[in-house]
Structure 1
Amino acid sequence: MGKFKLTIEYDGGRFKGWQVQEDARSIQGLLIKAAKTVFETDKVEVYGSGRTDAGVHALGQVAHLDVNSKMPVRLIRQKMNDLLPHDVNIISVDSVSPKFHARHDAIARSYIYQISRRRNAFGKHFMWWVKDPLDVEKMNQAAAHLVGFHDFKSFSNEKGTEKSSKVELQQLKVVEKGDMIIVHIVASHFLWKMVRRVVGCLVEVGTGRMDPAKFKEWLEAPSQEPAQYTAPPAGLFLERVYFPGEQVSKEFKTLL
């Protein structure tokens, strides 16, 4: 079978997430359906680098496509995009080794979270409008506690599983861009709802309602407290997926 690497962007607002679900609209499901039509076969497999939840977007999700075809990558991209809705777009298609795996081979993922300081007529579905003034310096003080290899169980919704909650968080920075505040986070992988809970707690610090030192406490002793501050999905974007040979960048892209 041929194997192809797909780089995809999507607006997650009208989807129940990345993963195929019965009786629910998913990104993976639409890609599989389009591929089956393009290649005229049911023998198609599409695997993503990771799952995004309902309402979460992507600027650079990566998936691999397994299909028995020698169709040029340019035509694959064109034909599949012709079948996909306006809120899903394949940016690029590349031929890759049969051993390539979008999830297992990824060495890091980066997310951005867009926070607006003001009401915005165009960004309702792509940002979180926080009305309270935010102290970005204090937010970065709190963020510094999380960088490194830690147990992020306090920031995860992973319950009743044997999955490890330890994560190598490589970068976490809060940056001001005009009326926007961008949270940029890079890690080896992410736990379910981890980014949204980190962002929600950072906002609490920014408003002055939370001490930055709480972050250190939650790493040392698991707590359910961060769950109540989970940020809404609308502002969250999977920004990029990194593979061997690619250097993790401190720069990032935003939608707006």
Structure 2
Amino acid sequence: MEIQRYFIEFAYRGTHYHGWQFQKNAHSVQAEMEKALSVILKQPSYLTGSGRTDTGVHASQQFAHFDTDLNLDQEDFVKRINGVLPKDIAVYSLLKVKNDAHARFDARWRSYLYRITLRKDPFEEESAWLVYHKPCIDKMNEAAKLLLDHEDFQCFSKVHTDVNHFNCKIKEAYWEQNDHQLLFHITANRFLRGMVRAIVGTLVHVGLGRLDCGQFQEILDSKDRSQAKSASPAQGLYLCRVVYHEDIFI
């Protein structure tokens, strides 16, 4: 039978994982999923994800692709693999795609959500950043707009990263309040390692009056990670949407 490529749509709670990507001496989401996939397909199986997430970061929508010579039924596959996966990883769908489709390189836009809680909540200890002093959303949104007119985000990237350039196109970045939660939404064509958490941490300084928009612009122009503020905690960050061209799906 011919080789067929499939996309898996899935989600995970990243609390107990050292990120998405396989690591030799650490527990990763990729390792758990490849193990489950190999059990279901009864052959060694490997996944290529749409992108990596750092230790402790969650995903409410993530994609990965794999190849197989088996003709898979979506409903049966989803039921079986969810029966093998641990409770903090869930597969939502199996999608047949063209054989040159790529989960990482064909992603057009990626969106992240960052959750801040303004009150202590035992149910959000591992899913949001607790901030006792409420930052000003208007000031943070004013600064966030500056991101849309910028291209080089080296100042918000982890150092010693293996990228060829630091350019990203951000098409939306804004804060909203939902009861006791502050939610940051950001969408771009690509993200650098640690970028969203560094942006959030720096914007919160703006919201607390420790920086103004002029200083935030100076940080953007500096291309220097040491000029930006400390990254926000991992537990508040979620990869929440990955968008592809429709023509890759069969």
Q: Same fold (TM over 0.5)?
A: yes
Question: SS state of the match for residue 151, structure 1?
Answer: coil
Structure 2 residue aligned with 1:14: 16
Which segments of 5 or more consecutive residues in structure 2 lack a partner in the other structure?
none
Structure 2 counterparts to residues 166-245 of structure 1, below 5 A: 166-226=167-227, 228-245=229-246
TM-score when normalising by structure 1: 0.92
**How far apart in 1 are the matches of 2:43 and 2:57?**
30
Structure 2 residue aligned with 1:120: 121
**How far apart in 2 are the matches of 1:162 and 1:50?**
13
Question: SS state of the match for residue 20, structure 2?
Answer: coil
Structure 1 residue aligned with 2:92: 91
Structure 2 residue aligned with 1:59: 60
**How far apart in 2 are the matches of 1:177 and 1:208?**
22
Letter in 2 for 1:18: W
Confirm or deny: 8 A CA contact 1:109 1:240 kept in the other structure: yes
Letter in 2 for 1:20: F
Letter in 1 for 2:76: L
Task: Let me know the Cα RMSD of the aligned residues.
Answer: 1.5
TM-score when normalising by structure 2: 0.94
Identity among equivalent positions (%) equals: 33
> Any idea what the Cα deviations from partners look like across 1:55-93, whole Å, max 9, x if unmatched?
000000111121221121212111111110000000111
Aligned residues: 245
> Any idea what the Cα deviations from partners look like across 1:35-54, whole Å, max 9, x if unmatched?
11111112x22110000011
Which of the residues 25, 28, 33 maps onto 1:26?
28
> Any idea what the Cα deviations from partners look like across 1:109-139, whole Å, max 9, x if unmatched?
0000000111112100000011112100000
Confirm or deny: 8 A CA contact 1:201 1:226 kept in the other structure: no
Quote the offset at 1:227 in angstroms: 5.1
Confirm or deny: 8 A CA contact 2:7 2:66 kept in the other structure: yes
Question: SS state of the match for residue 151, structure 2?
Answer: strand
Letter in 1 for 2:167: K
Which segments of 5 or more consecutive residues in structure 1 lack a partner in the other structure?
247-256
